[in-house]
Amino acid sequence: ASRAYKQALYTLSTLTAHPPTYTYDATSHTSNAKALLTSVIPSLQGRGPIGSFYRILLRLQHRFGSSKEDTTKQRKTDEVHPKAVKVIDLLQHSAELGNMDALFMYAKISLLPPTSHFTADPHAAFKSFSAHAAMTGNATSQGHIAFFYASGYRGVVPVDQARAQLYYTFAANGGDKSAQMALGYRYWSGIGTLEDCLRAVDWYEHAAEHCNAAMAKYLSGPPGGRTLPQTPTRLSDLDGGIYGPGASVASTGMNAHRAAIKAGASRASGETWEDILDYYLFNADRGETDFALRLGKIYYQGSIYASPGGISSGSEGVGAIPRDYAHARHYFEQIARQVWPHDPINPLQQKVSAPSRDEGLPVGHAAVSAAYLGRMYLRGEGVKADPVVAKLWFDRGELYGERECHNGLGIIWRDGLLPGFKPDLKRAMAHFKAAASQDLAEAQVNIAKMYLDQGDYASANGHLDAAVRLGSPFEAYYYLGQLQAHQLSNPALPHALASSTCAMAVSFFKIIAERGSWDDDFLREAEVAWMRDTEQSKDIAMLKWWIAAERGSEVAQNNLAYVLDQDKSILRLTRFSPITPSNDTAQLALLQWTRAAAQRNIDA
């Protein structure tokens, strides 16, 4: 049994070794020739006419070589299909011999095929999850069973909210984060049970902070926390909102400046991210510092659009491109070296000073570049982690008052990251305050954390509120949720105040649980699958949105309702549609619109 299971995993790994990607533009379809050329002669991406010729050559190769690629891909598909059959046979054989891991893997593949070589079989998935849960008590299997009963997916079992509640409870108590989120949402919204805000807080808090949950994952990362997953996208935003541009709240007023709305307008005009990058590269290669800095930021964050709040706030998934720390570092150093061409032999023993003459030098852009370089060395992003080199770059940017450099120095002194130096909280606080005075959200959070350690909850709350206003997307909500939950534990809290406090605690922990999706980013995976525009990929996308919707994700509820809504079915339910419009799909769309509306989606 064990040998068959290992052989199945190995064969499966050969099918999933190079998963397809999607980035809302033509760059996702470029051939391997680009990667090969870049690895052999990466300097051609640099300045001058050679770099421009290289990029033009790649675009011509992509345009005229696509038919050959399609033929090759089809031949590869024909070759690997027997491997998919082999994987299924081996898993079934291993499961029949009593291997529970094989049974679980077979259930997962049957529900969510990992590649186009496999066929979904929801009935087999439900049967296998049920058998696995019965024999092992596995929480994840119980959570999948709960989804079938909650949704009635593909008619495998009839909708039974009582059984769904039962299985979600088993799974949540077993430590399954997805089930904890689903149970928190059900208690918050009164689905299959009476509304109970206190229980909702309890389950969302579990999903946010315990064991392998969101906050624990975040804190297990490098200094400053793990890089956040990119934000999910509402498909309706790409069309200007549910009712179109200008007629939807999503694209009216200040909302018109949101990344997804701008991306939708760009896509409608025929613009691609490849066009934007080529334009930036063209100008950067000719010495335009502003464009070089933009390119560095884009490659660092892996998206055309940065999220508000500072570097740590992450980026928007709607403008996703492959993250490339090497290229980011190239452009940041290209700028910074104009001001600081050489590094001292021993940075800790030599004080950093400004250049004797900085007239005509791009000191502003260089300071920002120094902040990114310092962050990369602090966190080990594309380079070996080295807090000494990180401090060198932060010190350079701090000479010009750069806020991210102040924040980075604060982290170094707070955590005592320099060899031979102890933590210096006074020095750290001074740097955090200097950064916070320039409206940096992460610095506000860092100040709040120091106040929390001192037991000064009132001061901490003020800085956390400021961080949220400035765009902090994650950590500030967690500590605000903790403060609200702490208030709830006070038996003297008036009932009216307890109700609003509980609602805020649920909202804050819900944000943390949903954004911290490092293990299973179903929303991003669903976007990628939907944009591949095949029958199977759209089917998988809708299933992943459906699973996320049951967990309480408003974005998933919006997307599922939008693609099923029959009002504009001629635009979206094309010949690739996995589900034919019917009363069932209309009912599901209405249900998801209703749940999204209950989460304050005004257009819904």
553-567 in b/e form (b: 16+ CB < 10 A) is: bbbbbbbbbbbbbee
Confidence (pLDDT) at 354: 76
- State the pLDDT at residue 336: 96
In 3D space, the residue among 499, 591, 496 whose CA is nearest the CA of residue 545 turns out to be 591
This prediction's pTM: 0.88
pLDDT for residue 42: 42
User: Does residue 177 lie within any of the structural domains?
Assistant: no
The token duo for 265 is: 């307008």
- Please check whether residue 390 is in contact with residue 411, taking contact to mean a CB–CB distance below 8 angstroms: no
Per the domain annotation, does 342 fall within a domain? no
CA atoms of 82 and 302, how far apart (whole Å): 36
Q: Tell me what pLDDT residue 174 has.
A: 96
Please report whether residue 384 resides in a domain. Answer: no
**Model pLDDT, residue 57:** 65
Q: How many folded domains does the chain comprise?
A: 1
Does residue 575 fall inside a structural domain? yes
d(CA 122, CA 331): 49
Give residue 349's pLDDT.
Answer: 80
Distance, in Å, from the CA atom of 337 to the CA atom of 324, rounded to the nearest integer, reads 20
Cβ pair 136, 41 in contact under 8 A: no
Residues of the chain with pLDDT under 50: 25-45, 77-78, 569-576, 578
For residue 263, the Cα-to-chain-centroid distance in whole angstroms is 17
Alpha helices in 97-138 (DSSP H): 100-111, 122-136
On whether residue 217 sits in a domain, the answer given is: no
Q: 587 lies in which domain range?
A: 522-598
- The token pair at 407 is 């924040």
**DSSP code per residue over 303-372:** BSSBPTTSGGG-BBGGGB----HHHHHHHHHHHHTTT-----S-TTTS-----S--TTS-HHHHHHHHHH
Whether 242 maps to a domain, the answer reads no
Residue 536 belongs to a domain = yes
Token code pair at residue 224: 């400053």
> Residue 153: what pLDDT?
96
| Confidence (pLDDT) at 359 | 73
Any domain includes 233: no
What is the rounded CA–CA span in Å between residue 26 and residue 275?
A: 9
pLDDT for 347? 87
